[in-house]
């Protein structure tokens, strides 16, 4: 009987206040986050994690002293397995979790998958939009660890799905409800808020910002609300570098000056965590009140929304069955398998050199 292992990836989060500092160290010690040689990066990570730990602990104290990300990911895993089982995939299906910066981390996940003895492994980041600092870092770590631990099963990778139908439909459904909630206070402005990146990353060819914009445009099109007022913005700036914009807090202040209600949509997060429960709900909610925003509505993340989970199951099924003619790269993905986006081939424009897909004749599928 064949065995399929699906591995979902996310950032991870501290499971106690004591783990906040080592979690931050792991984050800042990642070469995908601070691109310096090992020793200076390690030193900077030690200093930055020590300085930021008290601030971060105060944040996590507001949400029960720990991140809810693991529990929410477990719920998504259960729902995904159910959706895959409904599709009648032959053999046994196991769904596993690999967190990047805190437990359960990549090595433990590799060992669990190896013990499962899969014939095929599908790597599925829970980051709809590809960035070298999120999906790229997680997938590269998996490849190195799997090779070191002797996991040699055929492995296929889903690199991104910024406009996947189920994901977009789920967010459109949630956003529409948020717009209706805000509408009694006036025509609302929708702020599609994503985690920011330093401008330098984008200038080097990281496709993240372009894929975030694809997601927002697809949600607006799916909602079908005439003359909707909307903007893409970015949150969670850290450090002195120039970051992509506009900033979410600046857009909230602008809405206050314009006297319009705000609907905030976290479109790059699929689960709740400190940046939604504290930054969006508490900090930006207080800012909106201070700036006179008539109403502040925060749309929930997709979590285990039925259409989102069905979309993930569709991605897994396509990655298993795709052939070269479907646009998936053969022997090019991590561990030498298929590398598939939501359309099989490259969704990014040719200017985004850090897209894991090489530029090819399928580039005109961007945004599908």
The SS3 assignment for 322 reads coil
pLDDT of 163-212, one tens digit each?
999 999 999 999 999 999 999 999 999 999 999 999 999 999 999 999 99
Task: Assess whether pLDDT exceeds 80 at residue 322.
Answer: no
Contact present, 110 and 22 (Cβ < 8 Å): no
Model pLDDT, residue 327? 59
pLDDT in the model for residue 365: 37
CA atoms within 13 A on the CB side of 53: 19
Q: What is the rounded distance in angstroms from the CA atom of residue 140 to the CA atom of residue 307? A: 29
What residue numbers does the annotated binding site for Fe(2+) cover? Answer: 195, 275
pLDDT digits (tens, 9 = 90+) for 40-49: 999 999 999 9
Smallest Cα–Cα separation from 216: which of 190, 178, 196?
190
Q: How high does pLDDT run on average in the chain?
A: 93
Element (H, E) at 165: helix 165-182
Report the pLDDT averaged over residues 330-342. Answer: 64
> Of residues 93 and 238, which shows the higher confidence score?
93
Place of tokens 């050199």: 353
- Report the share of the chain in percent with pLDDT over 90: 85
Instruction: Count Cβ atoms below 10 Å from residue 283 Cβ, excluding itself.
Output: 16
pLDDT on residue 330: 54
- Cα dihedral across residues 162, 99, 204, 355: positive or negative: negative
Query: Residue positions in the annotated binding site?
Result: 195, 275
Fold category of 3-10+68-162+305-365 in CATH: Rossmann fold (3.40.50)
Q: What local confidence, expressed as pLDDT, does residue 36 receive?
A: 93
Residue 301 DSSP one-character state: P
Contact 112/10 with Cβ under 8 angstroms?
no
Distance CA 347, CA 355 (A): 9
The model's pTM is: 0.93
Q: Where in the chain is the domain with CATH 3.40.50.1400?
A: 3-10+68-162+305-365, 165-298
Please determine, for residue 59, whether its predicted confidence score (pLDDT) is greater than 90: yes
24 touches 53 (CB < 8 A):
yes
The answer to whether residue 363 scores a pLDDT higher than 50 is no
Q: How confident is the model at residue 362 (pLDDT cuts 50, 70, 90)?
A: very low
**Mean pLDDT score, 52-81:** 97
223-272, pLDDT tens digit by residue? Answer: 999 999 999 999 988 777 899 999 999 999 999 999 999 999 999 999 99
Residue entry with tokens 């783990």 = 19
pLDDT tens per residue across span 284-302: 999 999 999 999 999 999 9
Q: Per CATH, the architecture of 165-298 is what? A: 3-Layer(aba) Sandwich (3.40)
For 145-148, the CB contacts below 8 A with 24+ separation are: 145/106, 145/107, 145/110, 146/110, 146/335, 147/335
Q: Which residue has the tokens 């206050």?
A: 256
* Residue in 217, 232, 204 with CA at minimum distance from that of residue 351: 204
* Per-residue confidence (pLDDT) for residue 366, from 0 to 100: 36
pLDDT band at 325 (very low <50, low <70, confident <90, very high): low
Task: Locate 51 and state its tokens.
Answer: 């300085």
Q: Is the dihedral of CA 237, 240, 242, 247 positive or negative?
A: positive
Q: What is the DSSP letter of 359?
A: P
The DSSP 8-state label assigned to residue 184 in this structure reads: G
Q: How far apart are the first and last CA of the chain?
A: 36
pLDDT score, position 237: 85
């Amino acid at each position: 009987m064949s065995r399929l292992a699906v591995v979902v990836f996310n950032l991870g989060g501290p499971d106690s206040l004591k783990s906040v500092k080592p979690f931050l160290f792991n984050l800042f010690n990642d070469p995908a986050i601070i691109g310096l040689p090992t020793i200076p990066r390690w030193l900077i990570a030690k200093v930055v994690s020590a300085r930021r730990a008290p601030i971060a602990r105060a944040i996590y104290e507001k949400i029960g002293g720990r991140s809810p990300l693991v529990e929410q990911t477990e719920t998504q895993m259960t729902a995904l397995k159910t959706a895959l089982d409904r599709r009648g995939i032959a053999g046994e299906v196991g769904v596993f979790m690999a967190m990047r910066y805190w437990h359960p981390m990549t090595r433990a996940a590799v060992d669990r998958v190896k013990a499962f003895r899969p014939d095929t492994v599908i790597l599925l980041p829970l980051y709809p939009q590809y960035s070298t600092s999120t999906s790229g870092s997680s997938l590269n770590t998996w490849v190195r660890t799997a090779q070191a631990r002797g996991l040699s099963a055929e492995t296929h990778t889903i690199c991104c799905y910024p406009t996947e139908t189920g994901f977009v439909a789920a967010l459109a459904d949630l956003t529409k409800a948020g717009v209706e909630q805000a509408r009694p206070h006036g025509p609302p402005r929708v702020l599609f808020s994503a985690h920011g990146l330093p401008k330098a990353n984008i200038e080097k060819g990281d496709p993240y910002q372009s894929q975030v914009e694809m997601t927002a445009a697809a949600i607006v099109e799916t909602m079908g609300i005439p003359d909707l007022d909307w903007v893409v913005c970015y949150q969670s700036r850290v450090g002195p570098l120039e970051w992509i914009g506009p900033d979410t807090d600046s857009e909230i202040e602008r809405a206050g000056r314009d006297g319009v209600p705000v609907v905030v949509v976290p479109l790059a997060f699929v689960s709740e965590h400190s940046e939604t429960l504290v930054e969006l709900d508490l900090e930006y909610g207080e800012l909106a009140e201070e700036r006179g925003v008539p109403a502040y509505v925060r749309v929930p993340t997709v979590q285990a929304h039925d259409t989102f989970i069905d979309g993930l199951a569709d991605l897994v099924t396509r990655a298993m069955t795709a052939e070269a003619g479907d646009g998936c790269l053969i022997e090019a993905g991590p561990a030498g398998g298929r590398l598939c986006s939501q359309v099989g081939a490259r969704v990014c424009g040719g200017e985004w050199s850090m897209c894991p897909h090489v530029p090819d004749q399928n580039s005109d599928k961007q945004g599908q």
